């Protein structure tokens, strides 16, 4: 971590600009200070979070993914994550999910990684297995178990798996309880997916262990009712995630950073289930197995973790990332309601997290990182913009500044 821990309730300005520029000299900022992890250099601390777009066909990326992800590289982020890429077909959340379970999937992603790399960002991928939350509708089709309407579109459900035969909630598919041999097979699929990610040209990899998907459902005592080596006490419930990290790290090149996204707590504001103390312990064990960054999200064990679920303060998960980073002595990334440049700058400068993941705010503004650099004075003359844009913006700026200051 970069500094002391702090509180989650940040009193921050609504204005994303945060300041008026009066000079052209770049200002030193924490948010636009590079970070080196293994042999990868993050040119700043802004990362585009994995965000499902449900637009693949049989897991294969297409021109949508290149345009969608490429815009964020043009937009100035240090790293751009794909959405969750399933390690096997039944690990998809929906029929539209991205996949990385074959060489064909890797080949389809090569144009994406090439474009991102050429434009100054690190191409990153999140590998995942949805577990008992697989075989769902796309959000705009209902965001629940598939029904007759989905079947009419030719999208049929498939069998789902979990640590225990416990559905997400009433009315959802009943998962089959995984045998130990099946657990090992899925772990091997994560490792195989990591190999395909190397072939596709990715420089950063993240294992998805959050939001109620398979790995998180092993961690949580509310969803894991096993009494064998993969259940019971916290050590048993962590075994799936830790072994998976070991297998992935053995395949993922030693010079490339490995992230793990976790739900820091099962449910925000609820004192049952997986708790922050558990996440601190997990983070320490992940670090011992070669994980470089813990990506601190939360919630989702029995519902959505990403759609609005009531009002939360800005940067509310910094309470998780700061404690995990400090107590486990590991680099952290925080995600969730980071909206403004001044807010992100405060998070990094105060040591609440080392990296800031921008998600849906980047859908609203794909150039969030560049606008933040301008607002904070880190790039007042557009020198870091693509030449095709910066050349014009520099010449336009004096006139625009006159109108701003009028």
What CATH number is attached to the domain comprising 154? Answer: 3.20.20.70
Q: Which secondary-structure segment (H or E) carries 335?
A: strand 331-335
Task: Report the C-alpha gap between 306 and 213 in whole angstroms.
Answer: 13
Collect all residues with Cβ–Cβ distance below 8 Å to 282 and sequence separation of at least 6. Answer: 219, 238, 241, 242, 262
Q: Judge contact between 44 and 78, C-beta under 8 A.
A: yes
- Looking at per-residue pLDDT, the higher value among 309 and 163 belongs to 163
Q: Judge contact between 351 and 2, C-beta under 8 A.
A: yes
Catalytic, 213? Answer yes
For residues 178-184, give the mean pLDDT. 98
For residues 202-222, give the mean pLDDT. 98
Quick one: pLDDT band at residue 350, thresholds 50, 70, 90? Answer: very high
Which residue, 333, 168, 339, is CA-closest to 258?
Answer: 333
Task: Return the structure tokens found at 397.
Answer: 């700026």
C-alpha dihedral (228, 233, 239, 240), degrees to nearest 10 = 70
Q: Judge contact between 339 and 362, C-beta under 8 A.
A: no
Tokens 């091997």, located at residue: 188
Task: Return the structure tokens found at 174.
Answer: 């009943």
Task: Report the C-alpha gap between 30 and 352 in whole angstroms.
Answer: 12
Look at residue 167 and tell me whether its pLDDT is greater than 80.
yes
In the predicted model, what is the mean pLDDT of the chain? Answer: 92
Q: Which secondary-structure segment (H or E) carries 173?
A: none
**251-256-262 Cα angle (round to 5):** 80
pTM: 0.92
Quick one: pLDDT band at residue 270, thresholds 50, 70, 90? Answer: confident
Task: Report the C-alpha gap between 190 and 248 in whole angstroms.
Answer: 6
Number of H helices, E strands in the chain: 12, 13
Task: Report the C-alpha gap between 211 and 260 in whole angstroms.
Answer: 12
Q: Identify whether 14 is part of a domain.
A: no
Task: Return the structure tokens found at 8.
Answer: 């989650």
E-state strands within 88-145: 98-99, 122-128
Q: Judge contact between 367 and 385, C-beta under 8 A.
A: no
For residues 124-153, give the mean pLDDT. 94
Quick one: pLDDT band at residue 361, thresholds 50, 70, 90? Answer: very high
Range of the domain at 45: 35-405
Catalytic residue of the set 213, 320, 367, 374: 213
Collect all residues with Cβ–Cβ distance below 8 Å to 66 and sequence separation of at least 6. Answer: 111, 112, 115
- Looking at per-residue pLDDT, the higher value among 300 and 9 belongs to 300
Residues written for the chain = 406
Task: Return the structure tokens found at 117.
Answer: 């790399």
Q: Identify whether 295 is part of a domain.
A: yes
| Helix, coil or strand: residue 387 | helix
| Count: domains in the chain | 1
Q: Identify whether 251 is part of a domain.
A: yes
Q: Identify whether 20 is part of a domain.
A: no
The DSSP 8-state label assigned to residue 367 in this structure reads T
Q: Judge contact between 230 and 163, C-beta under 8 A.
A: yes
Q: Identify whether 212 is part of a domain.
A: yes
Q: Judge contact between 319 and 356, C-beta under 8 A.
A: no
Q: Identify whether 16 is part of a domain.
A: no
Task: Report the C-alpha gap between 289 and 275 in whole angstroms.
Answer: 21
Buried b (16+ CB within 10 A) or exposed e, 195-207: ebbbebbbbbbbb
> To the nearest whole percent, how much of the chain has pLDDT over 70?
93
Task: Report the C-alpha gap between 331 and 322 in whole angstroms.
Answer: 10
For position 16, what pLDDT does the model report?
A: 34
- Looking at per-residue pLDDT, the higher value among 31 and 312 belongs to 31
Handedness of CA 150, 151, 156, 160 (dihedral sign): positive
Q: Identify whether 9 is part of a domain.
A: no
Look at residue 25 and tell me whether its pLDDT is greater than 90.
no
- pLDDT tens track for 26-80: 899 999 999 999 999 999 999 999 999 999 999 999 999 999 999 999 999 999 9
Task: Report the C-alpha gap between 65 and 71 in whole angstroms.
Answer: 10
Rg (CA), the chain: 21
Task: Report the C-alpha gap between 213 and 329 in whole angstroms.
Answer: 26
């Amino acid at each position: 971590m970069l500094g002391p821990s702090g509180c989650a309730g940040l009193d921050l300005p609504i204005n994303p600009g945060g300041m008026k520029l009066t000079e052209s000299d770049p200002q030193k900022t924490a948010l636009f200070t590079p970070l080196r992890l293994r042999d990868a250099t993050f040119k700043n601390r802004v990362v585009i979070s994995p965000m499902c777009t449900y637009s693949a066909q049989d897991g294969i990326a297409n021109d949508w993914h290149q345009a969608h992800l490429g815009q964020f590289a043009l937009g100035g982020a240090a790293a751009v994550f794909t959405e969750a890429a399933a390690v096997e077909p039944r690990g998809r959340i929906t029929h539209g999910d991205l996949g990385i379970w074959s060489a064909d999937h890797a080949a389809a992603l090569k144009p994406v990684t090439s474009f991102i790399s050429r434009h100054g960002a690190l191409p990153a991928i999140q590998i995942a297995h949805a577990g008992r939350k697989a075989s769902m509708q796309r959000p705009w089709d209902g965001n629940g178990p598939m029904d007759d309407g989905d079947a009419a579109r030719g999208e049929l459900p498939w069998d789902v798996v979990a640590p225990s035969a416990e559905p997400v909630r009433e009315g959802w598919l009943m998962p089959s309880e995984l045998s130990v041999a099946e657990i090992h097979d899925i772990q091997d699929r994560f490792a195989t997916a990591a190999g395909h990610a190397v072939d596709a040209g990715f420089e950063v990899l993240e294992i998805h262990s959050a939001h109620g998907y398979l790995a998180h459902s092993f961690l949580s005592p509310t969803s894991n009712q096993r009494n064998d080596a993969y259940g019971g006490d916290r050590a048993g419930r962590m075994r799936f995630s830790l072994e998976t990290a070991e297998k992935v790290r053995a395949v993922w090149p030693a010079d490339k950073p490995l992230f793990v996204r976790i739900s820091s707590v099962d449910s925000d504001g609820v004192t049952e289930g997986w708790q922050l103390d558990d996440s601190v312990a997990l983070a320490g064990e992940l670090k011992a197995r070669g994980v470089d960054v813990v990506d601190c999200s939360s919630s989702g064990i029995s519902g959505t973790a990403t759609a609005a679920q009531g009002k939360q303060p800005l940067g509310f998960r910094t309470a998780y990332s700061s404690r995990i980073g400090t107590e486990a002595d590991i680099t952290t990334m925080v995600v969730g309601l980071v909206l403004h440049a001044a807010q992100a700058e405060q998070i990094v400068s105060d040591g609440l997290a080392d990296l800031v993941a921008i998600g849906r705010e980047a859908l609203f503004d794909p150039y969030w990182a560049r606008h933040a650099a301008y607002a904070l004075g880190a790039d007042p003359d557009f020198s870091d913009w693509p030449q095709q844009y910066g050349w014009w913006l520099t010449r336009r700026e004096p006139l625009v500044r006159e109108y701003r200051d009028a």
